[in-house]
Amino acid sequence: MTKAVAESFPMNRGEGVYSYTQNSSHQRDGVNSSKAVIDEAIAEKLDILKFSTSDPFTIADFGCSTGPNTFLVVQNVVDAVKLKYQKCPSLSMHIPEFQVYFNDHIDNDFNTLFKSIPLEKQYFAASVPGSFYDRLFPKASLNFVHSSYALHWLSTLPSELLDKNSPAWNKGRITYANAPDEVVKAFKAQFAKDMSSFLNARAEEVVPGGLMGLLLIATPDDIPSPKSIFAGLFDLMGSCLMDMAKIVRDVQF
Ligand SMILES: C[S@@+](CC[C@H](N)C(=O)[O-])C[C@H]1O[C@@H](n2cnc3c(N)ncnc32)[C@H](O)[C@@H]1O
């Protein structure tokens, strides 16, 4: 098993005004727009003939947070898979039961997640806490893997960004916007390492014929990331967060 210790920064817990539950409509829009792509992939690529008719159909949402977006995703997948079985002459009478695993870091507010799980859900639900950069499931045990707005979370900050003697020293900034190439390279290298840990772990866990749907923020190849619209926004947000942290530090000491 791989072992990568990922830092954990959970979303705001509960259902209050500042909670993730009440402040994730942007991610919900993304999840809704990816529905058609997922439906099509399930209809055309999910190889249900390879699955045993006596096993449940297992779905895992990696980086699920506290809801409600994860419930939308899961219901969409369940509906699309059921439709696929109904349309398959040899399997239309063998629609499987569904087992859903909600994954996030151990610090995630799983209580809010389970309190708000839809009453009319048509699946068994369980949580699997831990970093998705590690193995979390037995070999060949997942039929459908999903993750949205989570894989841009690096497992750790590249250490050279904090090293004043390194050309990749980021001078205390928390983004790569308008930073030297070495800073961008350090972020890219960490992302590549993390993605490969994620994909290697899932490669073991997904059953033959299974599928994976990943939704993450990206920029077109011809726009260098540090110059993209996101970089500008993150630079602004980064400087606000640094100011806030400085105020808290000055007040404390
Ligand atoms: C912005 S939320 C996205 C929630 C949900 N998927 C959505 O689309 O609304 C990102 C989630 O990824 C989780 N996350 C980040 N890194 C993770 C890791 N290494 N392992 C498990 N969860 C992680 C965070 O804790 C957070 O709850």
Render pLDDT for 98-125 as a digit per residue (tens, 0 to 9).
999 999 999 999 999 999 999 999 999 9
Which has more pLDDT, 252 or 85?
A: 85
Q: Is residue 49 part of a domain?
A: yes
Probe ligand 1: pick from 2, 7, 64, max atoms within 8 Å of CB?
64
Q: Is residue 171 part of a domain?
A: no
pLDDT for residue 4: 52
81 CA to middle of ligand 1, Å?
24
Rounded Cα distance, 24 and 63, in Å: 14
Which has more pLDDT, 219 or 14?
A: 14
What is the tally of structural domains in the chain?
1
- String of b and e for 72-106 (b: at least 16 CB within 10 Å)? bbbbbbbebbbebbeeeeebeeebbebbbbbbbbe
Residue 3 pLDDT class (50, 70, 90 cuts) = low
Helices 25-45 and 69-87 cross at an angle (nearest 10°) of 20
The tokens describing 167, both together, are 């050309």
**Residues forming beta bridges with residue 142, ordered by sequence position:** 206
Residue 128 has pLDDT above 60, yes or no: yes
* Whole-number percent of the chain with pLDDT over 70: 95
Q: Is residue 36 part of a domain?
A: yes
Q: What is the residue whose two structure tokens read 């087992």?
A: 99
- Of 138-142, 156-160, 172-176, the poorest mean pLDDT is in 172-176
Q: Is residue 222 part of a domain?
A: no
| CA 19 to chain CA centroid, nearest Å | 18
Cβ-contact 57, 98 below 8 angstroms: yes
List of long-range contacts for 200-204, beta carbons under 8 Å, 24+ apart? 200/2, 201/2, 201/132, 201/133, 201/134, 201/135, 201/136, 202/142, 202/145, 204/135, 204/139, 204/140
The tokens describing 75, both together, are 């219901």
Residue 25 has pLDDT above 70, yes or no: yes
Q: Which CATH number covers residue 105?
A: 3.40.50.150
Cβ-contact 126, 99 below 8 angstroms: yes
Q: Is residue 212 part of a domain?
A: yes
Average pLDDT over residues 37-58: 97
Probe ligand 1: pick from 31, 65, 112, 152, max atoms within 8 Å of CB?
65
Atom of ligand 1 nearest to the CA of 24: 9
Residue 6 has pLDDT above 80, yes or no: no
pLDDT for residue 64: 98
Which has more pLDDT, 36 or 10?
A: 36
Of 39-48, 150-159, 235-244, highest mean pLDDT: 39-48
Q: Is residue 185 part of a domain?
A: yes
Determine if ligand 1 sits within 6 Å of the CB of residue 153: yes
Give the model confidence (pLDDT) of 63-92 as tens digits: 999 999 999 999 999 999 999 999 999 999
Q: Is residue 224 part of a domain?
A: no
Kindly report the average pLDDT of the chain as a whole number: 92
Residue 2 has pLDDT above 60, yes or no: no
Determine if ligand 1 sits within 6 Å of the CB of residue 105: yes
251 CA to middle of ligand 1, Å?
31
Tell me the CA distances in angstroms from 146 to 58, 63, 207, one per residue in order.
11, 9, 14
Atom of ligand 1 nearest to the CA of 11: 27
Domain that holds residue 89: 25-161+178-217
Secondary structure class of 148 (helix, strand, coil): strand
Rounded Cα distance, 16 and 21, in Å: 8
Of 124-133, 156-165, 226-235, highest mean pLDDT: 124-133
Q: Is residue 192 part of a domain?
A: yes
Rounded Cα distance, 29 and 47, in Å: 28
Determine if ligand 1 sits within 6 Å of the CB of residue 108: yes
